[in-house]
Structure 1
Amino acid sequence: MGPLAALRSCLSKSFRWRGRAARSEFWWFFVIFFGGLLATTTYTILSVESGEDVLWPPAVFLLGLFPASLAVMARRLHDKGLTAWLMLLGFVPFGQLALLILAVLPGDQGPNGYGDDPLGRAKPEGLTYGRSRVPLVRDDD
């Protein structure tokens, strides 16, 4: 998924917390999100230094995309078979680092409890216990 497709997908699913999000959708959205936030903040700092009082662009940008960023993070955690309540880790020390690590890891292959695989991969053959995967061992004897 490219950057524009990821932005379009995330904005259209701003209030949709169900389902799964592929890594490409998540990372392209956050590159655009933080790039835009950096650009609007830089514009505001430069405008304040030049004597203008323009403090609203970063706030409008942040408030406009904040629901989409929460929703895509929830769907990214669902792709790993995890609950969206783990986003509360962002409020504890090093919790944001843990969320970053979880966002980097590949999602579950095949459908899981939160929906179909966003990449369209089939479920691997194997025994399952809860959400973990145990490889199926067969005897050829």
Structure 2
Amino acid sequence: MGPVAALRSCLSKSFQWRGRAARAEFWWFFVIFYGGLIVTAIYTILSVESGDDVLWPPVVFLLGLFPASLAVMARRLHDKGLTTWLVLLGVVPFGQLALLILAVLPGDEGPNGYGDDPLGRAKPEGLTYGSSRVPLVRDND
């Protein structure tokens, strides 16, 4: 998934907290989100230094993309099989670092309780724990 497709997907799912988001969708959206935030902050700083009091661009930018950023984080957590309530870690000290680490980890292979795998991978046969696989043993009775 490229940056335009990720942005389009996240904006169309701004208020959809169900389902799963692949790492590419999440990271492309956040690169665009923080890049745009930096650009609007620089624009605001330069306009204030020139004598204009233009403080609305970052506010409009944040209000426009904040719901999409929360929703894509929730869907990214769902990709790991985790609950949406972990988004609240973002308001505690070092919680954003924990969310960043969770967002870096690969998602569950195959469907989980939150939906189908966004990468279309089939669930591996056997018992799994993380990336280790225990082969399925069948009785021939």
- TM-score, normalised to structure 2's length? 0.92
Q: State the AA in 2 paired with 1:25.
A: E
In 2, are the aligned partners of 1:126 and 1:133 still within 8 Å (CA)?
A: no
State the match for 1:102 in structure 2.
102
Q: Does 1:46 align with 2:46?
A: yes
Answer yes or no: is the 8 Å Cα contact 1:13–1:68 preserved in 2. Answer: yes
TM-score between the two structures when normalised by the length of structure 1? 0.92
Structure 1 residue 94: Cα displacement:
1.1
Q: What is the aligned length?
A: 138
The residue aligned with 1:120 is: 120
**Which stretches of structure 1, 4 residues or more, deviate above 4 A after TM superposition?**
131-134
How much is the aligned-residue C-alpha RMSD, in angstroms?
A: 1.9
How far is 1:138 from its partner?
3.9
- Look up the match of 2:63: 63
Q: Which ranges in structure 1 are unaligned for 5 or more consecutive residues? A: none
Deviates more, 1:119-128 or 1:14-23: 119-128
**Same amino acid, percent of matched pairs:** 84
The one-letter code of the counterpart of 2:23 is R
Find the counterpart in structure 1 of residue 90 from structure 2: 90
- Do the aligned partners of 1:15 and 1:67 also contact (CA within 8 Å) in 2? yes
Secondary structure at 1:109's aligned position in 2?
coil
